[in-house]
Chain A
């Protein structure tokens, strides 16, 4: 099967380049109004809001050939269910990948929301089920269930979602959720079940993913480590009699030449405070996330951006330049396409790509990189040769 390539919607703010963490576009900035970009609409009182800018990115992504985009959800961001329903009517092919934690919604309500969103978009809704890094943030959301229990809850939630989807009647008595004679009404029950991308690297997560996920979604890890992880997920799932695909969420910096791409990183790195680098090196974040821990390698000294190059075209300092994951791909258009193809060879079936600023970079990556990616054609050729 040909691979799917998604983009990302920057709910967590949009500085105008990787080299700078400020100012931010539109009316969203990380808590400090002075960081808003002057001169752009949407910074208050003019009738525009951040959704107007996000709509531009969704259009850029769909016109550039992306499947759609991941719409991240954090305590400080706007919510993906709202963004998806608000942009439903003014997009044509953009698929809305909605991350949410099953603990926050009644599964029957979630089923109706999803079926209605499918109806509103012509079947363009899909999920990124997350189960929570935990720590203090989990209680911020009002959720006191412990880490490993939450995966059990996720499994129950998806059992019910599946059970009611085509009309039921469906009854279920779980530890966290119960329903009796539930089912979606016609015509909601005619909609296609959403594709499920599943995140989580712990054993509890893998057990839940094996049962319900279409795609197992990982951040970028060192390539061999990632191959072993994907193999393990696929083995676990096969034991349960299911097949699962894999996907990678990764930031990229692609430029006409490799030198230009690294220059972008160098300028970003050189503008950092010394303390930011020291914090990065310690980087104890208190999260229960196993995925975050798997990305955490730190050399003994970091004196140049080059100390964070962990394999060809992979830089392990992205979260110095913006929030989120550590590893990203840096290189010429050809090199970035080659690295993506290399990841397809080791098992990736889909990508969620991102680059800052998401608007201009959607066009750049769509026009310059995607045409160079061979995708599954490449994988099939290798399989035949092997």
Chain B
């Protein structure tokens, strides 16, 4: 697998420069006139946050990203609907759609995936998350015990892949069942969505080793990632499989390091930023928890364009192929990274170079 950059679509709210507070651009939540009475506003109710999501998706496509992660957040817009909404406006992006295995029948998910593949030329991909603890999941209509979440994902994928690749396919398990299933004609033989899984526990690793195409790590230092990559690679080897590795990371890149640090500090002190508990832990330009509440990333890489490029190359050397990035605000920052970061990482790495880079590290 070659290197890929996946941008994030902020399904539950974005931000603005110098303002960490989550907001939905385009959304009119009150009927109050937004400007002074002396200024006209032609928008009426013509726009909402979906128009912004469309803009961000187009920005990622135009800025040269390879994919778009559409995250699952119970308080946000539903990722499968958002994926469909941005499908026709994008040309190249992989639509990495996140969900939980509690969403319904695995056969129905597979059948919907077939239509996504047909309508996007095979750009649909899945990120499946185990989900929150039992209490929060009950508010999502999900009463499966915490200890069964991994088994359910495994069965979900077994059945989905079964009906996508075989006909007739039958299976009866603990969570899902199908009899003489499978797709034919135009619906047959569509691309099985590549599966991205994540998590840091041994259970997460075991599941990824068995069924994932990509395991996505939370952001920690490149040295720590290299160690985890080695561990997970061994897990996979025992299963007779290979998988590739991804990193979920936020980026705060500016022309100079000073500007980046200034913006990171300002963000930290904002309402909506992480101000409790004093200064953030910073390790190798990684600010832990800086933008977690807004974007879900465990840490933010802060630095000049050149520093950020070098840090990403170090992660590549450590074994990362898929960079799942985001930055606030998602529209403007997609262009910034597309112009100042992605081309410089791409020009300096290739799979053949990893070995050499690894030797240097």
Q: Residues of A with Cβ closer than 8 Å to B? A: 27-33, 47, 49-51, 75-79, 81-90, 103-110, 112-113, 115-117, 119-120, 122, 136, 139-144, 160, 169, 177-183, 185-188
Contacts and interface: CB of A to CB of B under 8 A. Distances in A.
Given A89-B88, A185-B74, A106 B103 contact: yes
Contacts of A183: 139
B48 interface: yes
The 9 closest A-B pairs by CB, nearest first: A85-B84, A139-B179, A31-B185, A185-B75, A105-B104, A82-B115, A180-B138, A104-B108, A142-B107
B161 to A, nearest CB: 14
A40 to B, nearest CB: 14
B121 interface: yes
Interface string B15-33: 0000000001001010000
B220 to A, nearest CB: 30
Contacts of B105: 103-105, 141-143
B106 interface: yes
15 contacts: A47-B121, A81-B84, A82-B84, A85-B84, A88-B84, A89-B89, A108-B140, A112-B74, A113-B81, A117-B81, A139-B180, A142-B105, A178-B141, A181-B138, A182-B138
Given A88-B84, A140-B178, A107 B78 contact: no
Contacts of A182: 138-141
Given A86-B84, A185-B75, A76 B102 contact: no
B344 interface: no
B112 interface: yes
Contacts of B112: 79, 81-82
Contacts of B88: 51, 86-87, 89-90
Nearest to A78: B115
Interface string B219-243: 0000000000000000000000000
A85 B178 contact: no
B85 interface: yes
A60 B267 CA distance: 50
Nearest to A190: B29
B85 A120 contact: yes
A11 B106 CA distance: 22
Given A105-B104, A182-B140, A30 B185 contact: yes
Contact of A188 (B77, B143, B181): B77
Contacts of A47: 121
Q: Which of B85, B108, B142, B186 has the most CB of A within 10 A?
A: B186
A106 B179 contact: no
Nearest to B84: A85
Nearest to B73: A185
A377 to B, nearest CB: 31
Nearest to A108: B141
A141 B108 contact: yes
Given A29-B186, A47-B121, A89-B85, A109 B78 contact: yes
B74 A27 contact: no
A281 to B, nearest CB: 28
Given A79-B112, A89-B89, A116-B82, A160 B180 contact: no
